[in-house]
A and B are shown apart, each in its own frame.
Chain A
């Protein structure tokens, strides 16, 4: 599994076995599934592995090797007889019995058609369907197993835009958490999997250098990355970055050019993200100071040739003021703090007040002239009010917000650390670009200068007549 290409990065045209797919059950109800090709019975199901949802049962075999986005019909799966006392009618399983009855298994005696793998061919049920969607960081973010607070799409999309996470960039992420940002940033920096000859070609591959200090989360995340074939893109380390900093593989610098900190105390990690050992910074914790001294040479985890963009993600304003204060002392510039307000809208057909039949048998209008007239379908029963034949055309189209909104996710602190510029650098460049021979002015000009420039331009071009003549001559030349 780990040798192939992640479905998050390069997607084949069809679903594949042993690969992640996301089942779209209904709006905001997505279910990640690793599709499996089974031979023979699985867990009591003669169809192989089966996903049971309240919209029906879906054997994996029906979802394999279909185009992404396909609508999948539910199948008639015998979910009742596997260890249950009561035999249930197939198609009536729209409830809680998926995994609970898995204790004992009885072989389904039905001599159904078996395919080559010894798996019973699924038979379509009369109703129920789902869609199979390809995994993207957005879909994954809405369906992932929560381990910590998740960085949702509105936030991470803006963060990635601001910290310039582009193909080929190296991004440090501290606090991998549930992994939504890891997936999104991996997609952003991806520019091909590492190849053995990268060093010869000077090809820089984008990578995410991720850190997680919670051990259980680290292991879960590690497994997840391997399952998603992202382990070559996301380099996950189990570490306390406050104490031990951001170097990888012993003491090698990842040469990052963008940083995302989702930590409770980002100011404790910030000193590690300097160009050189921060002198006299009292905020550097004791342990870190000692470690650094023992090591002698201080290596910066940042790319020495580029400006480094950072984003710190913290929910409380106190964290923000401390972070910003630390950033100022460590030489970060363009410090900017924002919070993202995301709103979703539903579109509905609003029928109230339009002299239309309303629900619950109540009519708003004083007289219901239109109700019994033509244009309204028949079949009126027991006072229930009819709608027109085409309810999708009725009413005024309006939008309304979602019933519950996220009013605060976190504050985002952005900053930039310019690259270091030494006296030697300056001297070398000054020699290459000597000053004092300026011929032209760009940018704002004063009135006199602008006039002069314009006159010169006119002189050079000549008047319109001569220009046209010249052009005609040239045309004639090329035509002939």
Chain B
């Protein structure tokens, strides 16, 4: 979390109208807020977040507005006045309560402003508001041009020139004032662009469908039920020190015992889900102290960014990190030759530069990824769509990337690479080899390409092999794909007890998924009445390819549950506390949660009391987990199957 607004960082500017603008605070630029005015960006850079600023009127000799920090006493002035008024039903905390005793029965009555008399006004008297405003639009424009006192003048004038102001109830007056403030008040607040703020902005003001209508509540639920958290200190594989003449045999194999704290993600929200997870794992942004150090070094020397990667890394924790200059050309063949040549040019520049970073460059087959605390993204298209990560300074498509923690913790692979890696040429084509002599003879750009392809090969090998090794600590999804098909291939990759959290904007796909794990399916599966699975071992059943009746192995998940959460917002004002009248509708959002189970070998019977044995078991058993009232299926007990599922207690009671 940043402590101050950094130069060139993305910030969210909240306007009086309630709208947010997400802009980059570039030094020496003017930030324009439309009708509210504009101000130099340098006035907010390196200032704290969350302060409320007011655009001051331009001074005579200046062409820009200066800013003033609005103290909270001013922000809340009216509320305080309300609280101190004798008719307020909810006096301020901390004030002498003995003094303020609202007369009984008057709490909800309405007060006339001048006399303080209680006169409940009916709505009948309220006529169209515009007809009663004596100021013309031109007059308002003139006042605005004068820009007096950050819009306060305009509002005062508007209220004064309203003919029916004395007929307004205090409620409607407050409303009127709020309306005008939204329009004319020249105030704003600068908020950090973090996952919570940015997703809110995307949801309410931009295209909510792009992030699959994922509200903050859902993000919280998915993160918690997915048990997403810091997955351990970074561990890197040793650099194999492969020479350019060595091919595949020099690659470092995946060491399964080192792989820890890894989450598997299917993300169709454009990267918001990955960002939320990265935030929970502490890899979305560098921590502040490191940032400050870095800012200092950047100030003294104009270093190319990638050398400062190594410097920053060593400063950070002194661990060995085989960072390569372009550690993230992100397995993309950049068709744009332009960018390619700059990339290789950048490499050359590091090679020829006087060695400030004394570390030798890592070999092509060095793996830049940590073995712990990683996010593995499986994507359908040839490239992952994680474009929202740009707001946190990470660009998956950038070949030369400034230092970013996600470079070492975000692994992306396609479904093809996960399921049939041998069909993917970038995985199966052996790496190029060449002797030092031939290399030297090549043009720099060709040499650059050679190294880039070798590096990409090693990276893809590592990503695919480690993903296929499985043992993920959890699965988190927010996808437009069918969850059943996602789980068919990802369930075998999860470690025992690993949580599964699947978000969907609508309930139906999750209901269908949950039905795959219904009690009747599970009972039928374990009781041995499914002919297809009779002779199969547990291992074979883990990767059950599914059929029409059993799309998934129903014993692989435990405690399946679907839930939704909604935060209802309230207005809290003295005497006027109530829930907001309207809120965003649209897709509600649901989360499916479960834990990965490791079924026991062979036939496992649930416990229950058996009144009558049946010759053929058809698995109408009821109950959950341990209790299945089992195979009796007599009329009385089968009654519970009207809803196909009962709680164990109910089942037992019936038995």
A window 113-138: CB within 8 A of B: 126-134, 136-138
Give the distance in Å from the alpha carbon of A257 to the alpha carbon of B83 in the complex: 30
A-B contact pairs, 20 of them (CB 8 A): A25-B625, A27-B559, A67-B496, A69-B558, A71-B604, A74-B607, A128-B606, A133-B559, A137-B224, A153-B224, A158-B220, A188-B229, A325-B93, A333-B72, A338-B570, A344-B563, A347-B514, A418-B48, A419-B4, A421-B69
A128 touches B626 (CB 8 A): yes
Q: Does B115 contact A (CB under 8 A)?
A: no
Q: A70-B598, A439-B28 in contact; A359/B642 too (CB < 8 A)?
A: yes
B600's partner among A71, A190, A317, A350 (CB-CB below 8 A) is: A71
A445 sits at the interface (CB 8 A): yes
Determine whether the beta carbon of A26 is less than 8 Å from that of B626: yes
Q: Mark A159-170, 1 if CB is under 8 A from B, else 0.
A: 111101011110
Q: Do A471 and B639 touch across chains, with their CB atoms under 8 A apart?
A: no
**B216 close to A162 (CB less than 8 A):** yes
Cα-based distance from A474 to B338 in the complex (angstroms): 7
Q: Which residues of B contact A112 (CB under 8 A)?
A: none
Kindly list chain A residues whose C-beta atoms are within 8 Å of the C-beta of B514: 347
A93 to B524, CA, bound (A): 26
Q: Is the CB of B625 within 8 A of A26?
A: yes
State which residues 180-211 of A face B: CB under 8 Å: 184, 187-188, 190-192, 201-204, 206
| Interface segment, one of B39-47, B409-417, B420-428 | B39-47
A-B contact count (CB 8 A): 442
Interface pair A339/B568, CB less than 8 Å apart? yes
**Is the pair B563, A154 in contact by a Cβ cutoff of 8 Å?**
yes
The 6 closest A-B pairs by CB, nearest first: A283-B94, A68-B497, A55-B626, A167-B282, A26-B625, A69-B496
Chain A residues, Cβ within 8 Å of B47: 421, 426, 429
Q: Given the complex, which residues of B lie within 8 Å of A187, measured CB to CB?
A: 227, 229
Closest-CB distance, A399 to chain B (whole angstroms):
5
Of all chain A residues, which has the CB nearest B191?
Answer: A334
User: A127 and B607 in contact (CB under 8 A), knowing A164-B194, A339-B567, A445-B32?
Assistant: yes
Chain A CB within 8 A of B60 CB = no
- Check B40 against A153 for contact (C-beta < 8 Å): no
A441 touching B29 by the CB < 8 A rule?
A: yes
- The reply to whether A71 and B597 form a contact with Cβ atoms under 8 Å apart is yes
With most chain A CB atoms within 10 A of its CB, the pick from B40, B94, B598 is: B94
A282: Cβ under 8 A from any B Cβ = yes
Q: A188 touches which one: B280, B608, B620 (CB < 8 A)?
A: B280
CA distance A343 to B644 in the complex (A): 20
Chain A interfacial residues counted at CB < 8 A:
155
Segment among B74-82, B141-149, B454-462 that sits at the interface with chain A: B74-82
Contacts of B623 in A (CB 8 A): 26
Whether A419 pairs with B3 at a CB distance below 8 angstroms is yes
Q: Does A156 contact B (CB under 8 A)?
A: yes
* Cβ proximity bits B508-539 to A, threshold 8 Å, 1 near / 0 not: 00011011001011001000000000000000
> Which of A35-43, A222-230, A294-302, A430-438 lies on the face that meets chain B?
A430-438
B279 cross-chain contacts in A, Cβ below 8 A: 166
Q: Of the candidates A26, A66, A161, which one forms a contact with B624 in the assembled complex, judged by CB atoms under 8 Å apart? A: A26
B207–chain A nearest beta-carbon distance, Å: 19
Query: In the bound complex, do residue A167 and residue B26 qualify as a contact, i.e. CB atoms below 8 Å apart?
Result: no
Q: Which of B52-103 contact A (CB under 8 A)?
A: 52, 62, 64, 69, 71-72, 75-76, 79-80, 83, 90-96
Are B26 and A440 touching (Cβ within 8 A)? Answer: yes
Does B590 reach chain A (CB closer than 8 Å)?
Answer: yes
Q: Residue B574 at the A interface, CB < 8 A?
A: yes
Distance to closest chain A CB from B163 (angstroms): 33
Judged by a CB distance under 8 angstroms, whether B585 is at the interface is no
B269 within 8 Å of A by Cβ?
no
Inter-subunit contact A282/B558 (CB<8 Å): no
The reply to whether B230 and A190 contact each other, CB–CB distance below 8 Å, is yes
Check A267–B93 contact: CB distance below 8 A: yes
Is there a chain A Cβ closer than 8 Å to B645's Cβ? yes
CA distance A168 to B42 in the complex (A): 30
Rounded to whole angstroms, the CA-CA distance of A39 and B648 in the bound complex is 35
Contacts of B443 in A (CB 8 A): 480
The answer to whether B217 and A345 have CB atoms under 8 Å apart is no
Contact A127 B223, beta carbon cutoff 8 Å? no
Interface assignment of A351: CB less than 8 Å from any CB of chain B? yes
User: Could you give, for residues 492-516 of chain B, a 1 whenever the CB lies within 8 Å of some chain A CB and a 0 otherwise?
Assistant: 0001111100000001000110110
Given contacts A68-B495, A444-B32, could you give 10 more A-B pairs where the C-beta distance is less than 8 Å?
A: A10-B261, A56-B607, A66-B598, A68-B497, A157-B221, A307-B49, A323-B93, A345-B563, A349-B515, A419-B4
> Are B624 and A136 in contact, CB atoms less than 8 angstroms apart?
no
Q: Does B34 contact A (CB under 8 A)?
A: yes
Q: A67-B598, A321-B90 are in contact. Are A166 and B23 (CB under 8 A)?
A: no
Does B72 lie within 8 Å of A331, measured CB to CB?
Answer: yes
Instruction: Knowing A158-B216, A162-B196, A342-B565 are in contact, say whether A136-B499 is a contact too (CB < 8 A).
Output: yes
Name the distance in Å between B636's Cβ and chain A's nearest Cβ: 8
